Amino acid sequence: MESTVTVSPRGEERIRNGHFWVYRTDVASGQAAAGAVVRVVDRAGGFLARAFFSDKSQITLRVLTRHDVPVDRAFWRSRLEHARAFRSKIRIDANAYRLVHGEGDLMPSLIVDRYGDCLVVQALSQGSDRALPEFVELLAELERPKGILARNDPKVRLLEGLDQQVSVLYGHVPERVTVREGAIEYDVDLAKGQKTGAFLDQRENRLAAVQYVTGRTLDCFSYAGGFALQLASVAAEVTALDISEDATAMLARNAARNGLANVHARTTNVFDELRLLDRQGERFDAIVLDPPAFAKSKAAIPKALSGYKEINLRALKLLKPGGMLVTCSCSYHVNEATFAEVVFDAALDARAEVSVVEKRMQSRDHPVVLGMPETYYLKCFILRKLA
Ligand code: SAH
């Protein structure tokens, strides 16, 4: 029997305004099993939505549909088919991309990434965790992968009372797969790499950056070389910086695999290195800043903003006039306007005249939900230093 959950007028308003989440404080009454699909009603008993129920998280309800239809296998199959159709429509020039992006594909808290022949899934709430066996069956049927790996190790699962684990759910998953992005091939460690193995959300920004880069290039926070490898074909040389030795080792292997002799990876702290490069009087034609999310919570915002300002200020000083800056923030607590302000502040302090060439966001296979501004988490500005 389907359980019913009644929401407060504020919860009702959120749902009507296109938001997918209803917090515990906006639930008036009703209980259900962990991860069950529930019927959500207003205080008069009128149908509002069907949603995943969580008995642990502050996010009690995640809306699945605002139509009164059953959430069954056919429902999920159709959602997956829509997600797949969109990926083929946008003609992705890579065989590693996001197939399902949670709310952005109307499958809240479910992530599915394709890496060549393998799929990597993440269930980030009790609801998607409970439905995961069904998702795996459907994915195996529709996508015919060699294997499906669950990267259920993100910390957010703890907020749902779920454990953290990495396990093969279907077929065979090799430790490392080689994938293609544009003209570049790179290795991905599916079980241990960051996120589900790589930063797929930057794919289109990397390809866009290629249009503007020439000369001496610096890739800060390079990880396994997402930007550096793409830019090496148009730059005279690329210096890639990352604090993780594993990342720079992987980057060096990826550069060798692509025959790119002009990429140099250094294991170092970007904050220190930018200062050092400035003292040494080094100058660059292009710089990429792709730091990790500095603001992981609301409380961390002020410190995050000073971090963003610091690296942008240093980078703008290191750029030659006419040089290009690709600067990113993936903190969803820092919106586009705030990020733009920080970069502007940095330009003022660096006494740099800067023009905006492009304002970009996460790749199109990570859709932003119009009613949920926080799903626009990745901002990427391509700027030109005029003088
Ligand atoms: N640009 C990459 C993704 C970067 S993810 C791509 O396109 O694939 C952020 C990276 O920053 C991680 O690899 C992390 O190891 C690194 N990092 C975090 N703090 C750092 C610091 N202070 N100095 C240098 N690297 C840092």
Q: To test ligand 1's pocket by mutation, which of 195, 200, 205, 221 has the most ligand atoms within 8 angstroms of CB? A: 221
Rounded to 10 degrees, the C-alpha dihedral 55/60/62/64 comes to: 60
pLDDT confidence tier of residue 45, bands split at 50, 70 and 90: very high
Please report the atom of ligand 1 found closest to the CA of residue 223.
13
CB 199 within 8 A of CB 377: no
CB 202 within 8 A of CB 219: no
pLDDT, tens digit (0-9, with 9 covering 90-100), for 155-205: 999 999 999 999 999 999 999 999 999 999 999 999 999 999 999 999 999
Q: How far apart are CA 55 and CA 104, in angstroms?
A: 23
pLDDT confidence tier of residue 288, bands split at 50, 70 and 90: very high
242 lines ligand 1 (CB under 6 A): yes
The pLDDT value given to residue 1: 87
Look at strands 47-53 and 59-65 and give their pairing.
antiparallel
What is the token pair recorded at 23?
């917090």
Nearest CA to ligand 1 atom 1: 222
Whole-number Å distance, alpha carbon 293 to ligand 1 midpoint, is 10
Nearest CA to ligand 1 atom 21: 269
Packing angle, helices 73-89 and 126-143, rounded to 10: 60
118-123: strand order across its sheet: 96-101, 110-115, 118-123, 147-152, 165-171
Q: To test ligand 1's pocket by mutation, which of 97, 243, 250, 303 has the most ligand atoms within 8 angstroms of CB? A: 243
Q: Where are the alpha helices (DSSP H) in 203-298?
A: 203-209, 226-231, 245-257, 270-279
Please report the atom of ligand 1 found closest to the CA of residue 224.
8
The pLDDT value given to residue 80: 98
What's the DSSP call for residue 201?
G
292 lines ligand 1 (CB under 6 A): yes
121, 200, 261, 383 from 150: Cα distances, Å: 5, 17, 35, 38
Match 């980078």 to its residue by tokens: 315
Identify whether 220 is a catalytic site residue: no
71 lines ligand 1 (CB under 6 A): no
Q: Look at residue 326 and tell me whether its pLDDT is greater than 90.
A: yes
The pLDDT value given to residue 111: 98
pLDDT confidence tier of residue 347, bands split at 50, 70 and 90: very high
Instruction: Report which of 143, 102, 229 is spatially closest to residue 178, judged by C-alpha positions.
Output: 229
Q: Look at residue 241 and tell me whether its pLDDT is greater than 90.
A: yes
Rounded to 10 degrees, the C-alpha dihedral 12/14/16/21 comes to: -100
